Amino acid sequence: MTRPVIGIIGNHHLLNDEYPAHAGGAMNSCAVAQVAECLPVIVPADPSVVTVEDLLDTCDGFLLTGGRPNVHPNEYGEAETPAHGAFDRNRDAITLPLIRACVERGQPFLGVCRGFQEVNVAMGGSLWPEIRDLPGRDNHRMPPNGTIEEKFAMRHVVSFVEGGPFHRLMGAQKVMTNSLHGQGIKAAGDRVVIDGTAPDGTPEAIYIDGAPGFTLSVQWHPEWNAAADPVSRPLFSAFGQAVRDWQAHKTGTARLRA
């Protein structure tokens, strides 16, 4: 059987500050190929070139990546302000309906950073525009200076609900993670279960209650050092297994129809 395909949601990028590109971080592809053991395919998140139906039929699972632009606040009923930062409406148009379709079908996805926030918005939740501006909250943004290793260094503990899916998967109720985000969950969406939090109460791990497929999503970046990190490896390994299960189910269903 061929390797199952994981569609890695790409981001709009300018090469040399002028040439438009659909881009994906190399660490995402490496985590998918080397830890999830699936075939990584970068998806142009643009409704002018792909449709949600195309993606559901072509890919077996999806990695909802991080990205600098934020989900537009119109998607959760709020007005745009300077604090909301930059946006990518094309990505919103692809990922939000894609998430809802995956939840309904049981098709697996793993949400990361912006992807984590997309999952919440897709299910009817809302976001704070800037976590560090809230009373009692910490600055969760990427350190402005330093090497790439320093930017992705472990920053804080995440505590999981006892007996929840993350606790069971990690074999630990507390883990250390990096932190490179400005926004965060304000109100949880329908069926969104907050299963892990930072010390300041910021939601860091969620899943969709009652969903038939893999829906784990995290606010940190597990793709960094995924093969060696004791938190990232089980997350991507479980995601890969869920995608293989979906591929087997899809193949079996196709044979029954033949």
Phi and psi at residue 84, in whole multiples of 5°?
A: -75, -15
Name the strand (E) or helix (H) holding 23: strand 19-23
Considering only CA atoms, give the Rg of the chain. 17
Active site residue 221: yes
Active site residue 223: yes
State the Cα–Cα distance between residues 233 and 230, nearest whole angstrom.
6
* End-to-end CA, the chain: 18
State the Cα–Cα distance between residues 184 and 192, nearest whole angstrom.
14
Q: Angle 89-105/114-122 helices, nearest 10 degrees?
A: 70
What are the CA-CA distances from residue 146 to residues 166, 183, 224 (Å)? 31, 22, 16
- Among residues 215, 243, 234, the alpha carbon closest in space to that of 4 is found at 243
Structure tokens at 160: 């999981």
Which of 84, 113, 140, 181 is labelled catalytic? 113
- Among residues 88, 83, 34, the alpha carbon closest in space to that of 64 is found at 88
Catalytic residues: 113, 221, 223
